[in-house]
Amino acid sequence: MRSAGKGRFSSPADPKAAKFSRSVHFDQRLARYDLRGSRAHATMLGRIGVLTRKEVAAIVRGLDGMEREIVAGKFRWKDSLEDVHMNLEAALTERVPAGAKLHTGRSRNDQVATDLRLWLRDQIAGDREAIRTLQRVLVGLGEKHREVILPGYTHLQRGQPVTLAHHFLAYVEMLERDHGRLLDAAQRADVMPLGSGALAGSTLKLNREMTRKLLGFGSISKNSMDAVADRDFLVEYLAAAALVGVHLSRLAEDLILFSSAEFGFMRFGEAFTTGSSLMPQKRNPDMAELVRGKSGRLMGHLVSLLTVLKGLPLTYNRDLQEDKECVFDAADTLRSSLEVMAAAVDSLEVDAGACLYAVSAPELLATDVADALVRAGLPFRKAHQVVGAAVRQAEESGTRIDRLSEQVWESLAPGMGRLAEEILAGSPLMRLKKALQARSAVVGAPSFSGVQKELTQWKKRLR
| CA 46/CA 221 separation, integer angstroms | 22
Instruction: Tell me the per-residue pLDDT of 384-398, one tens digit each, with 9 for 90 and over.
Output: 999 999 999 999 999
Residue of 11, 155, 277, 427 with catalytic role? 155
Q: Domain 15-104: which topology?
A: Fumarase C; Chain B, domain 1 (1.10.275)
pLDDT at res. 269:
96
Confidence band, pLDDT 50/70/90 cuts, at residue 10:
confident
Going by CATH, does the domain composed of 109-357 fall within 1.10.10.10?
Answer: no
Confidence band, pLDDT 50/70/90 cuts, at residue 418:
confident
| CA 391/CA 366 separation, integer angstroms | 8
pLDDT at res. 6:
61
pLDDT at res. 3:
46
Tell me whether residue 155 is one of the annotated catalytic residues: yes
pLDDT at res. 352:
98
pLDDT at res. 423:
87
* 461: Cα within 13 Å, side-chain hemisphere: 14
Task: Please tell me whether residue 338 adopts helix, strand or coil conformation.
Answer: helix
Confidence band, pLDDT 50/70/90 cuts, at residue 199:
very high
Beta bridge partners of 191: 219
Instruction: Tell me the per-residue pLDDT of 228-276, one tens digit each, with 9 for 90 and over.
Output: 999 999 999 999 999 999 999 999 999 999 999 999 999 999 999 999 8
pLDDT at res. 248:
98
Tell me whether residue 247 is one of the annotated catalytic residues: no
| CA 334/CA 182 separation, integer angstroms | 12
Residue of 276, 397, 405, 449 with catalytic role? 276
pLDDT at res. 25:
95
pLDDT at res. 85:
97
**Range 95-102 average pLDDT:** 97
Does the pLDDT of residue 285 top 70, yes or no? yes
| CA 266/CA 353 separation, integer angstroms | 10
Instruction: Tell me the per-residue pLDDT of 421-451, one tens digit each, with 9 for 90 and over.
Output: 888 888 999 999 999 999 999 999 999 999 9
Q: Does the predicted TM-score (pTM) go above 0.75? A: yes
Domain borders along the chain are 15-104, 109-357, 362-462
pLDDT at res. 394:
93
Confidence band, pLDDT 50/70/90 cuts, at residue 420:
confident
**Of 1.10.40.30, 3.40.605.10, 3.40.50.2300, 3.40.50.1110, which CATH number belongs to 362-462?**
1.10.40.30
Q: How far is CA 434 from the centre of its chain?
A: 37
Task: Please tell me whether residue 9 adopts helix, strand or coil conformation.
Answer: strand
Confidence band, pLDDT 50/70/90 cuts, at residue 318:
very high
Question: Are the CB atoms for 24 and 83 separated by under 8 Å?
Answer: yes
Instruction: Tell me the per-residue pLDDT of 130-178, one tens digit each, with 9 for 90 and over.
Output: 999 999 999 999 999 999 999 999 999 999 999 999 999 999 999 999 9
**Range 310-320 average pLDDT:** 96
CA 436 to each of CA 129, 160, 431, 444: distance values in angstroms, whole numbers, following the listed order = 33, 10, 9, 12
pLDDT at res. 225:
98
Confidence band, pLDDT 50/70/90 cuts, at residue 4:
very low
| CA 302/CA 305 separation, integer angstroms | 6
pLDDT at res. 5:
42
pLDDT at res. 332:
98
pLDDT at res. 437:
94
Write down the mean pLDDT value for the chain.
95
